[in-house]
Every structure is written in C-alpha cells, then in structure tokens.
Structure 1
Amino acid sequence: MTVAAESASRWQVGSRYILLVLIWSSTPLAVVWSVQDLHPMWALTARFVLAAALAYVICKVIRLALPLHKLALQSYIAGSLSLLGAMLLTYMAAPYLASGLISLLFGFAPLVAGLMSYIWTKEQHLFAEQWLGMLIAVLGLGFICLSGERAFVQPVGIGLIFLAVLCYVGSMFWVKSIQANLHPLVQTTGSLVISAVGIVLLMPLFWQHLPTHLPSTLTIMAILYSVVVASIIAMLCYFDLVQRLNPSTVALTTVLTPVLALLWGVWFNHEHIGAGVINGVGIVLLGLILYFVREWMVGFRKKQT
C-alpha cells in the first residue's frame, strides 16, 4: 500500500469512527424527542416501517439479494430481538430517563455480553480487573439511582433499559449461533422487515393512542434522523469498522458515547444533571474503563509489533 493510499485509509477509518461516536451519542436524544409528541409505540412504528423500506430499497439499488431460506429467516428473527425487543423497551423507557443516561446504561452491554459468555458458553475468561470493573460500574449505577433526581432518573426507566440491553446482547449470541453468514446490510434489512411486521401486528394493542394531530417538526425530524442516520448510516459505519479495527478499539465507543450523550442532553434538551448523577456517571465510566483496559493494552501491543 502506498503512503497516499495508507493515509486515505486512515482518514476514512478515523472519520467513520468519529461519525459513529457522534451518531450513537445523539441517538438517545432523538429517541426522547420522538416520544415528546407521539406515543412511544407509534414513534417506533414509524421508525421501523420507514427504516425497513429504506434498507430494502438500498439492497435493491446495490443488487443485494434478500434470501428467504430457513437459516436466513431464523437469523432475521434473531436479529429482530435487538430491534423490536430492545428498541421497544428503550422507547418505553424514554419518558423516564435523561437521554444521556440511556446511552450510559447501554454502555453495560459489553459487560453483560462478557458475563453471559462466561456463564453459558465458557468461551471467555474474566480477569480480576474485569470483575472489579463490573462491580464499580454497578456501584456507580446505584449511586445514580440514589441521587434523588427523579425528574430524569426513575427506576422503571432503568429497569426497562436493562431488559433492552439483555435483548440486545441475547440477539448477538443468537445470531452468532445460527451462523447464516449473511451480508451485514442483508441481515439488518431482514431484521428490520421482521421488526416492522411485528410492530404492525401489535398495533391493535395501542390503537387508542393513534395520533389525532400532525406531530411537531421536532418529533418528525427526530424520527427521520433515527431512520436514516441511526438505523442506516451508523450501521454501515459500524460494520466497516468491525472489519478494519480490533474489536477492543471499536468497543472504546462504549466509553466515549455516554459522555457526549450527556452533553447533548444538557445543551439541546435542557436536561439538568446534578452533581450526584455526574459523580455516578464518573464511577460507571471508571468501571467500564477498568473492564476494557486489558483488551486495549493487548491491542496496543499487537499494533506495536
């Protein structure tokens, strides 16, 4: 590879990494804005239906076939657990939590994945500092819950997000176990279609919340942002980075996004985050860093050699 080509490749990786962090840190705020003028189920319905249609069109344009054999359908259903399952719970939790805390709680996903892998698959050995990191992160979460700021930190919201994290992580294990070997865009499109069909079938349960007026411009823009940017562009950046970078480097976004998400919530949504929540967030981030530090050091040494 020439110097110019290597420089261009680094710029592509760097720009996509930054873009992914910005998107993931701003998505919780888009979720919160989506439900300000719409019932969470209708906001999610709009997101899934539009995102599924857009992803399907993209597959057609770039001539990617959407296989419908048994293994592919199983993989789509498994993938939909992280969409219909996790996103449904996230949208239900949005009225109870500050947007930044939604991002922070999803930062527990790698910890949950490591714990599930350790318990059920026995594929991963957890080191002492990883157990300590988990303990510190949980203590930080407890500190947040006891902060007394009920306006943006309600236990029901935290419970719903943790169920969403379990769905998200469980979906990853399920998809991996099926091993359908589908193109990332095909997997995402199929899962979006299944999720869109699923949410439409649930419509009779929330028909009484049918919108009676046109949502506000802010709500419409938030939904469109969730569809185009969070559901399509972020996905493409993520799978590209997974192919190019060490997984531990990609996992660093877990530490970066909550901090930015809190800032976006304060600046753009006037969310007041008191000293108790800030201290709790700091403790959680310390736990996450401690959990990942061994992976980052191993990745750094490999890069040096």
Structure 2
Amino acid sequence: MRIKLSYITIILLWATTPLAIKWSGEGPGFLFGVTARMAIGTVCVLIVLALMRQRMAWHRKAWLTYIAIALQIYGSMLPVYWAAQFIPSGWISVIFGLTPLMTASLAAIFLGERSLTLGKLLAYGLGISGLVIMFGSALQLGDEAVLGIGAVLLSVFLQSASSVWIKRIAAKLPALSQVTGGLLLALPAYLLTWAIVDGHWPLLLTPTSLAAIIYLGVIATTLGFVLYFYLLTHLPATRVALITLVSPLLALMLGHSINDEPLTMKVIIGTLLILSALIMHIFFDRLTAVKPRPK
C-alpha cells in the first residue's frame, strides 16, 4: 500500500513540477530559482531527519550513494531549469518519458538486467521517432528551444545513470538519509554556481515565482525526493522510471490550460509516440511471451 501511494504521489508531483520550475525562474532567473529550491529543501530534510532522530551513515557505500544522488540533484536538475526558459513546461515531462528507455539501456549494461529485448528495441524506435517530432516543433520556436530539448535529454541521461549507479552500489540506506546526503553535497555546488554566474539578489521576485520556489523546495524536493528514493530502494530501477508514463499527459494539460502553452498537432503526435514507446516497453514482451503448456 505504501508503494502504491508513493507512486500516485510521485506522478502528481512530477506532473506539476515542470510548470513550477518554469514559474520559479520567471523574474529571479533560473539559477536563483533552483538554488533557492535546494536551499529550502536541504533545511526541510534536515528538520525532518532531526524530528525522526535518524542518523546519517558515513561508510564508503553511503558516501558513494550520496555522490550518485548529488549527480542527479545537481547535474540533472540544472539543465532542466536552464531549458525551462526556452521550451513549454509540458515538454519537459514528455521528454522525461524517455527515462525508462534510457534506464533500461544502462541497467542492461551495468546491472545485467534483461532489458534489451525485441519489445524494448521497438520501444526505443518509437521513442526516438517521437523525439524527432518534438525537435521539429522546437525548430518552429527557435534555436534556443532545440538546445532546450538537448539540455533535457542530458538531464534524462544523468538521472538514469544516477538511478542505475545507486542500484549498483546497493547501500540499502533509508530514503530520507539518501536525499539528505545528496542535498548536502549538491547545495554547495549550486551556491557556488549561482555566486560565480549571477551572484545578485533578484530585483524582481513575484508572488507566483516565490510560491513556486517554496512549493518546489518544501513539497517537490522534500517529499518528492524522499518518495522517489524510497521507491528506488524497494523496486527495480526500470520500474521506478515507469512513473513517467502518466505524468507527461497531465503536465501537458496543465501547461496548456493554466499557462497558455502551445499544444500543436506535432506536439500531440510526438507525445503519443513517446507514450506508445513506454506502453510497448512495459507490455510487449509479456504479451508475446510463450507460456509453457501444462503437462
């Protein structure tokens, strides 16, 4: 029951996070938005850790796990925030729908999981086709939108690599400890990046961007990250990545209805191809598997 509830919560969080990311950077800038989010999130997880009287582990596997999570929190999130300046928020969720395909490829290489079957290869073809159409839509928005899609793809790769690395380390740490350790390593990197590249307190901090930053820091980071790594600890990496099956549609509808983001036929076709790839990724091999005859 806990795992199912965590799944539903993560789907809802991942559907609303892209729009909140876009709003958080409108005015203060994307670097301030993501740095403020991680600072708030770090304070929140430390408070929760203290209230639960949970101690951090500092052995070798724990350190490696924290580094792997920091790679995801910093290396994966930073490109997304940059890309949100140039592409509709719903596109971020759609492109992240490729995470299971990327994760399956890396899991086959590094974890020895059986994830490169005929169904998976066909799914990759559909996913790439959908991505090509999304690139075509981005060309209509300008070169920066194309670079934005490329940045989100980099983020997908880093998140998938981090997930597989965490599974390979297999430190079996509590989810809250994993998130806390990752944030403690990632936050200094964010602060240093903001200080070097920007370093100025924003002149414009609208109520919308402030609310988005607080939502992302308190809810999406504290609750979302803990639930995500809780699932990652108890389920295979590829199954956790399948959360992206539902969230893209919700994110597109939210972006279109709330933020007036364009929803063209190309975007719809590209999204459907990527979602079809995910469906094939899940069900093709099960449907084509030959069941042994009863003796």
- Establish whether TM, by shorter chain, passes 0.5: yes
Matched, 1:282 2:272: yes
1:99·1:262 contact (CA, 8 Å) conserved in 2?
yes
Which residue of structure 2 aligns with residue 116 of structure 1?
Answer: 106
- Give matches, 1:11-22, under 5 Å: 15-22=5-12
Residue of structure 1 equivalent to 2:217: 227
Tell me the CA shift for residue 109 of structure 1: 1.1
What 5-or-longer segments of structure 1 have no aligned partner?
Answer: 1-8
Q: Answer whether contact 2:28 2:203 (CA < 8 A) is retained.
A: no
What value does the CA root-mean-square deviation take over the aligned residues?
A: 2.6
Structure 2 spans left out of the alignment, 5+ residues? none
1:176 aligns to 2:140 (yes or no): no
Deviations 1:45-84 (A, max 9, x none): 1011110111011001000002233432222111100001
The residue number in structure 2 matching 1:5 is none
Mapped to 2, the partners of 1:13 and 1:51 lie a distance apart of 23
Deviation readout 1:260-304 (Å, 9 max, x if unpaired): 000010111110111111111111111111111147769xx9xxx
Q: 1:135 aligns with which of 125, 133, 155?
A: 125
Please state whether the residue corresponding to 1:292 is helix, strand or coil.
Answer: helix
> What is the total number of aligned residue pairs between the two structures?
288
Cα distance between partner residues in 1 of 2:195 and 2:3: 45
Correspondent of 1:161 among 116, 137, 152:
152
Distance in 2 (alpha carbons) for counterparts of 1:152 and 1:22? 31
Residue 125 and residue 245 in structure 1: after superposition, are their counterparts in 2 closer, same or farther (change >3 A)? Answer: closer
1:95 and 2:73 matched: no
Identify the match of residue 254 of structure 2 among 240, 264, 267.
Answer: 264
- Does structure 1 conserve the Cα–Cα contact (< 8 Å) formed by 2:179 and 2:226? no
**Cα deviation, residue 192, structure 1:** 0.7
Distance in 2 (CA, whole Å) between partners of 1:143 and 1:73 is: 41
CA displacement 1:17-38 (0-9 Å, x = unmatched)? 4332111100011111111112
TM-score by length of 1: 0.85
1:185 aligns with 2:176: yes
Whether 1:54 aligns to 2:38 is: no
Which position in structure 2 is the counterpart of 1:28? 18
- TM-score under structure 2 length normalisation: 0.88
How many Å apart are 1:214 and its aligned residue?
A: 4.6
The answer as to 2:42 corresponding to 1:44 is: no
| Residue of structure 2 equivalent to 1:6 | none
Partner residue of 1:86? Answer: 76
Distance 2:90 2:195 in 1: 32
CA offsets 1:201-258 (integer angstroms, 9 cap, x no match) = 22332135x2342500000110111111111222344455567878777554221000
CA distance in 1 between partners of 2:143 and 2:211 (Å): 23
Change (3 A) 1:63 1:19: same
1:205 corresponds to 2:196: yes
* Contact 1:113 1:169 (C-alpha < 8 Å) held by counterparts: yes
* d(CA) in 1 for partners of 2:35, 2:252: 26
2:197 maps to amino acid: F
The 3-state SS of whatever aligns with 2:201 is: coil
Q: Which residue matches 1:255?
A: 245
CA distance in 2, matches of 1:120, 1:70: 20
